[in-house]
Structure 1
């Protein structure tokens, strides 16, 4: 593990707000229906205790990005956001241009005026639109309508947000190609600078899994993918990750790039997952840890998460086996259209480049799945088309 270099691995922070007004039938995220007696103050207290317990994992770095996910993060009162970020700034150093993203739903009853989030320090929004088709929205269990979705995007821009992601799903129940294309056009017209465009999947432990809707057939799904991708390109969007598209007026989501490039991220909140790297020459506070890369998670239920007097504990702390590091790294990084450098691979995993690995790369280059570059591991268009098969070569 001599090659591991924590000092140049970016560090991010994920914050989980676990409540929703109503659970959507397709959702398998750790979210819980909001109750009248939900104690936001106690939850933020727990978040700050949790953040304090992870300070030793910083190892001299500054936070380069923060992502607030859920659930529906815009449910948390704005006063609690001020208290949370005041506490985080007292614990961590932020880079000057830190990216702070918050997920938000279009329904205006769930969030404060957008300008108030800017005042907290949140400078990027990810708005969960999913579709601009009212019938489809009802089928998905969303509490907003198409008009509210468009208004939310425009209101965020008017408030001063320059970076706005819109989440769109395709392959919805009985969705046609024209309906999917309509959603993309509406998102662009409303002012989205970034679009997360991904196919609906039916996951276990969801309402849709128990009561399966009628989904488009394979031909329709393929046509949606082809025509939608072409439309996004025509609109000036670049596909930098499998489901992520960015316009020329924006830049790729730094937090997600860090995730796909096997960077480190602290994690606070019920059910939050984190990843940290620890070097052998660590400070005294980390002397009990072996050098390596670790993953951890938090208690999923909010009542369990806040039920600690010192700090919410890591419930899933586990060192990644060295034999699994390459596979985990490639599983993430090969999703990026621009690929990843050999140097990033070695410094973020600590593994050495072996002859077997080099031979595998050369074979994939000959097959046209990777570009022929000695310093970059980058999938070709063919490689992106057969991404799962490409990833399997390293697992």
Structure 2
């Protein structure tokens, strides 16, 4: 009895977590940036500091021959160790992504403490500018970037790209990566401009604009909570804004082409000309939208083929079911010239609360 009681007491005293880290010994990093600086890697870390009861954000920079080495260098310039367990956003410069994006990301997948559900985005230009937000932005980087990217996902500007999802795609030969692409507007405020297209491990330097990015996500049936498209119907001298309700797609792959067939259910959110309660007008509108969306989809296909970037994952089906086609050579090279035909049918499900 006494022996059992002693064991219980010892278990309570010795209980703990093997990877416990005291917050007094570390500083939490919510946003991190990586860029190429000559032959070295440069890292920037944003972390909170406390002064006079107020929370402010400071930055620490480091350089090295690898991401880990640059982080170690930055650690020597802070009072506590930089901890990435709560990292929310990782920004990668376009000049670094054009080399080989996996190499600078490798360290994030080696340590169990690292968070791989963080957002990742490609930025254009100097990284420091993205950590020094202008006064017009009434918040700090720790809040700004997670909210900016969350909104972009919510409205289907980009897919929900995390470090974990990025790692999965980078390990595949049959699908290429696409990541949010950010630039600075005329006021120096970071904005999501669309998506960066990758071929194998490298950023191609080619991007899809925001409208094209939305179309690409519709094609992948990867919708956010809200998906809107606006067209100018010149014949009717009227704008028309639609919301995508659902996407039904069929993919047929043969040895000589890919057929993509889409049936897309939509609601009409704006159409000043009205008259959609009339069958003729309804059919005419559906035909107009079908043609416009088909044109948009073909533009996206053309751009991704020019970039040799199969962001749709057609290669997965080819690899699984069409070995002869897969064995023609590098899939990205095959995809670049492979015939792809698109057909779109729009069905109007919601028009007007008065109809």
Q: Which has the higher strand share?
A: 2
**Higher RCO (C-alpha under 8 Å, 6+ residues apart):** 1
Same fold (TM over 0.5): no
TM bucket, shorter chain: under 0.3
- Normalized against structure 2, the TM-score is what? 0.27
* Higher Cα radius of gyration: 2
